[in-house]
Structure 1
Amino acid sequence: MDILLIGGLWLNGSVWDRVASALEPLGHRPVPLTLPGQGDGSVSATLDDQLATVLAAVDAAPGKPMVVGHSAACTLAWLAADRRPERLAKVALIGGFPTADGQPYADFFEVSDGVMPFPGWGPFEGPDAADLDDGARREFAAAAISVPAGVAEGVVRLADERRFDVPVVVVCPEFTPEQAQECVRDGDVPELTRAKHVDFADIDSGHWPMITQPVELARILAAAADGA
C-alpha cells in the first residue's frame, strides 16, 4: 500500500527519510510529501495549494492509500478524507487532531513579514520535546522552514459527510491513548467524535516521533495499513 507522509509545520518531506526506510521492508511504499511553502522556496503558498499537492498524491496512488498527517497536518490528512473519501484506505493522525470546519488551519504563533517562523523551543518545553537532545534541537531549528501566512491562516472547509466513514488511527506520542480517547468522547475533537472507526496507538516519544522513534513509528503505520 502507498503510505502518504505529510509533515507538520516547519518540516519538509525529508523529515520522513528514516521512517520511509523502515517502511519499505514491511511491504509498503512510503511517499513523503514536500508541501508548497515548506520546502519549495515559495512564501506565497496557501492551504489550498498544500491540499492540492496531497490530493495529487492520492490520485496518483495505484490503489487506496493511507494518508498520514503529523501535528497540524492532521488537518490536511482529514481534508483529503473530505475530498476523496472513496479513495482512502485509512487516515493516520500523529500527535494531533483535525481542525473543525470554518476554523483557521494553524494560527498558533505570530506571523511576521508574511510567514510564521519556528518560535523556538519555549512553547514546546515538557513532553513535546523531552526526547530531543541539544544536538537534535539545534538541527531541527536550523532546518525549520517558516510557514507562509496563507497556509497558517487558511480557513478549513469540510463538507462531505462520507469522511466520517474513513477509518482513522490516532498515534499518541506526547499524550496517551486514554487522554486522546477522553478528548474524543467529550466532544473536544468533534470531527473524530463523529468518525465511525477510530483506533488509538501509543508510541513512547515526544511530538516528533519520526525523528526520535522512526522504526517504531514505521511499525505502527505498517500495522495500521495492514489492518485497513
Structure 2
Amino acid sequence: MTDFVLVAGAWLGSSAWEEVVPRLRAAGHGAHAVTLSGLGERRGEPAGRQTHVQDVVGEVERRDLRDVVLVGHSYAGIPVGQAAERIGDRLTRVVFVDSEVPTDGASFADGWWEGRAAMEAALAENDGFWAPLTAADYADAGQGLTDEQIGRIVAGSTPHPGASLTDPAVLARPLGELPATYVKCLLDGPEPNPTVAALLASEPWRLVEMDTGHWPMFSRPHELAELLLRAADGS
C-alpha cells in the first residue's frame, strides 16, 4: 500500500483534494491531504522559516507512513521538494503538479514571474499576506475551470502567509537525484520552466502532461488521481 501525502498550492488547504482522495483510497491506498500552517482551518497559526517543510515531514512522521508518495501542487512543490529528501527511505516518489521546485538558497518569491520586488510589494500591501485570487481572476485565466469549480476554489482560499514565500529553500543534495514525476498542465503553458526542464534530464525524473489548467484537482480530479496511481507504480 502506498501512502499519498497531498499538499495544495498557495491559499489552499486540504479541502482542495476532496475529489482526489476518495479515488486513491478506493484503489486501496492511504491518502492524507495536508493543510499547511496559516492556511484554511489553520489560519492564524504562525508560518515562518521552514514551517511548511516541517508540516509535511511531521505528517509523515506522526502517522509513521511508509512507501510515501509526496504530492506538491504549485507553491507547495517548494516545501514538498525539501521534505522529500528529509523523510529518507520512507519516500517512494515525489510528484510535482504544475509546481515550482526548490532551489537551494532561493525562495518562491525569487522565482516569481514578476520578480521578487513585486511579490514583496504585494505582501506589504496586505499586512504580510498574499491575497487570494478572485473569482474573476480565475474566470479570466483560461484554466479550464467551471463556475462551480471556481466557486469551490474561492470558498476554500485564505490569505497566504508571506514568510513562507520569501523563505529560502535548504537542500542537502541535488533535487535531480530524487525519484520524481513532473505533471505539466498544458493550459498553464506548454513547457516546464527552465529549472524543471533541466531536472527532467535526470534519469529518475519523468514528465507527464495533462490537457487542463493549473488546478487539476478541481478541473480534472479523476484523471489526476489515475495519474498519481500510475506514478506510484513508477509509470
Could you say whether these structures have the same fold, taking a TM-score greater than 0.5 normalized by the shorter chain as the test?
A: yes
2:21 is paired with a residue of what secondary structure? helix
TM-score relative to the length of structure 2: 0.82
Is 1:198 aligned with 2:205? yes
Contact residue 85 and residue 178 of structure 2 kept, 8 A:
no
Task: Report which stretch shifted further, 100-109 or 53-62.
Answer: 100-109
Aligned counterpart for 1:48 among listed residues 47, 50, 61: 50
- Counting aligned pairs with the same residue, the percent is 27
Partner of residue 165, structure 2: 152
Distance in 2, matches of 1:156 and 1:224, equals 25
Structure 1 length as normaliser, TM-score?
Answer: 0.85
User: In the TM superposition, what whole-angstrom CA distance separates every residue of 1:70-89 from its partner, at most 9, and x where no partner exists?
Assistant: 01111122111232343311
CA distance in 1, matches of 2:140, 2:98: 15
Asked whether the 8 Å contact 2:6–2:31 carries over to 1, the reply is yes
Q: Matches of residues 178-217 of structure 1 in structure 2 within 5 Å?
A: 179-180=191-192, 183=193, 187-189=194-196, 192=199, 195-217=202-224
1:39-92 deviation per Cα after TM superposition (whole angstroms, max 9, x unaligned): 212253124111111001222343220100001111122111232343311000
Alignment partner of 2:129 out of 115, 118, 121: 115
Change (3 A) 1:177 1:58: farther
| Aligned counterparts of 1:124 and 1:88: Cα–Cα separation in 2 | 37
8 Å contact from structure 1 (residues 43, 114) kept in 2: no
* 3-state SS in 2 of match to 1:69: strand
Give the alignment's Cα RMSD to 1 decimal.
2.6
The reply to whether residue 103 of structure 1 matches residue 106 of structure 2 is: yes
After TM superposition, which residue ranges in structure 1, 4 or more long, deviate above 4 angstroms?
A: 106-109, 175-178
Number of aligned positions between the proteins:
220
SS in structure 1 opposite 2:19?
Answer: helix
Question: Could you tell me whether the CA contact under 8 Å between 1:88 and 1:166 is conserved in 2?
Answer: no
1:76 corresponds to 2:79: yes
Residue identity opposite 1:140 in structure 2? I
Partners of 2:138 and 2:104 lie apart in 1 by: 26
Q: Distance in 1 between matches of 2:16 and 2:138?
A: 21
Which stretch has the larger CA shift, 108-117 or 68-77? 108-117
Distance 1:142 1:106, change over 3 A: farther
After TM superposition, the structure 1 stretch with the greater mean CA deviation from structure 2, 115-124 or 187-196, is 187-196
1:219 counterpart = 2:226: yes
For residues 208 and 12 of structure 1, the distance between their equivalents in structure 2, rounded to whole angstroms, comes to 13
